Amino acid sequence: MNRMVWWNGLDQWRAEVSEIDLGSGRLSASGVQIGVDPLPYRLDYAVVTSSGFVTEAIRVIVKGAGWHRRLDLRRDTSGHWSCDVENSGAADLPAPGGDMSAVAGALDCDLGRSPSTNTMPVRRHNLHRERGAVDFLMAWVSVPDLSVHPSRQRYEHVRLDPDDTSVVRYVGEHRDYVGELRFDRDGVVITYPDLAERVGTSGS
């Protein structure tokens, strides 16, 4: 399955388009996010997984007026995370990167403000199609500063609806958030309450 997906922000003005390629147990996605908070930015990303939808790498580049940042976050076959960062210009933001030992054991990256990376944990456990609840540790990338933090999250299957969409409850400890996300039959986010809503899709 290869599709282009467009989302609009629900909490503030933001727009994102992503090209998502879903194969047998694997995902690759590349996209662009434009936002204005806490300062205007353009963010470009590319993420690739190994089998089982386990993150291999995510590369993120973010730019604003007079500043630029890059993050290369990788997980090796032994489960160790590493990151390489670049930071130039004057932006009043936290430093990019972080302590990789804090995300040891995580299987997933989670790109802040983006619905694109919610697909991996849901597809790995088929939570958009079947009953179940799973706890995760994520390597969460804050946007637009690109700092990396451990994030404890829980996904719980709520229901499968007659239109073949599904509802999965997301519980995020790091920001004390609970929301019921709607996914399509492929496990791609349609609606993420208080964050983003899909406004278009193309491909198959």
**What pLDDT was estimated at residue 133?**
98
**What pLDDT was estimated at residue 173?**
87
**What pLDDT was estimated at residue 175?**
79
> Of 76, 141, 143, 142, which is closest to residue 104 (Cα–Cα)?
76
**What pLDDT was estimated at residue 1?**
86
Global pTM? 0.96
Q: How far is it between the farthest Cα atoms of the chain? A: 51
**What pLDDT was estimated at residue 91?**
94
**What pLDDT was estimated at residue 88?**
97
Sign of CA dihedral 11, 151, 16, 5: negative
Cα-based torsion angle of the residue sequence 10, 15, 19, 21 in order, rounded to the nearest 10 degrees? -20
Residue 6: strand pairing partners: 17, 200
**What pLDDT was estimated at residue 176?**
87
How far the first Cα of the chain sits from its last, in Å, is 5
Q: What pLDDT tens digit does each residue of the chain (204 aa) get?
A: 899 999 999 999 999 999 999 998 999 999 999 999 999 999 999 999 999 999 999 999 999 999 999 999 999 999 999 999 999 998 999 999 999 999 999 999 999 999 999 999 999 999 999 999 999 999 999 999 999 999 999 999 999 999 999 999 999 987 789 999 999 999 999 999 999 999 999 986
**What pLDDT was estimated at residue 203?**
85
